[in-house]
Chain A
Amino acid sequence: QKEVEQNSGPLSVPEGAIASLNCTYSDRGSQSFFWYRQYSGKSPELIMSIYSNGDKEDGRFTAQLNKASQYVSLLIRDSQPSDSATYLCAVNCSQLIWGAGTKLIIKP
């Protein structure tokens, strides 16, 4: 069975620090990887997608992909209280498989 694993948290990070969120997946054939942010009571919002090994940067966000280790991560630099949310990892292997999410809390 195809699986995506995330630490449920909560992960508590001081404001201004780097938040590091991790995700592992089971299907070696996975081709594309997504990070969604979900605020409490809201729907998931796409923040990053990554398709090849290495880093992809977008503003304060960096996605890192290592297909050999079946590992994808999201780094948030200069964390702000507004970054407090649940971060969902989704992996595309003929269908989109979702992790359960990591709850991130940024402490002022």
Chain B
Amino acid sequence: EAGVAQSPRYKIIEKRQSVAFWCNPISGHATLYWYQQILGQGPKLLIQFQNNGVVDDSQLPKDRFSAERLKGVDSTLKIQPAKLEDSAVYLCASSLGPAGVSYEQYFGPGTRLTVT
């Protein structure tokens, strides 16, 4: 069974530029999550999709971050404009069902973003 796919793996941009990340979840997984992980910290949930609907985006900085999951499969996360503090690893995860139940989450390899 193929795992969660993400691209690109690494990205370096200057502040105020824009960037987009792509994620393809495990086949059949209805729930998709985007996390931000800063070195030395646990993952921070940015947004959770159930199929193509948003379940939780309470910690998404909506003035600069946006995400979509058209057709309920793959997803893109965009940052525009980027700030220095956005330097982090962006992780995509998927699960069979919603986090409010007990479904285990599986992570992609992540995208390491550096903003200079």
Residue A34 lies at the interface, judged by CB distance under 8 Å to chain B = yes
**In whole angstroms, what is the CA distance A6 to B40 when docked?**
12
**In whole angstroms, what is the CA distance A99 to B42 when docked?**
6
* Closest residue of B by beta carbon distance from A36: B107
Given contacts A95-B56, A96-B105, contact A44 B43 (CB under 8 A): yes
Q: Is the interface of B mostly helix, strand, loop or mixed?
A: loop
**In whole angstroms, what is the CA distance A76 to B53 when docked?**
39
A101: which B residues are within 8 A, CB to CB?
A: 41-42
Residue B72 lies at the interface, judged by CB distance under 8 Å to chain A = no
Q: How large is the interface on A (under 10, 10 to 19, 20 to 34, 35 or more residues)?
A: 20 to 34
A37 → B minimal CB distance (Å) = 11
11 A-B contacts (beta carbon < 8 Å)? A32-B102, A34-B104, A34-B105, A42-B110, A43-B91, A44-B91, A44-B107, A92-B99, A92-B100, A96-B105, A99-B42
Given contacts A43-B91, A43-B110, A44-B107, contact A92 B102 (CB under 8 A): yes
- Check B104–A88 contact: CB distance below 8 A: no
- Check A43–B109 contact: CB distance below 8 A: yes
Which of A's residues lie within 8 Å of B, judged by CB? 4, 8, 31-32, 34, 42-46, 49, 51, 88, 90, 92, 94-96, 98-101
Which of B's residues lie within 8 Å of A, judged by CB? 40-45, 48, 56, 89, 91, 99-100, 102, 104-110
**In whole angstroms, what is the CA distance A96 to B43 when docked?**
10
A95: which B residues are within 8 A, CB to CB?
A: 45, 48, 56, 99-100
Q: Out of B43, B99, B107, which one reaches A94, CB within 8 Å?
A: B99
A35 → B minimal CB distance (Å) = 11
**In whole angstroms, what is the CA distance A32 to B41 when docked?**
21
- Check B105–A46 contact: CB distance below 8 A: yes
* Closest residue of B by beta carbon distance from A49: B104
A45 → B minimal CB distance (Å) = 7
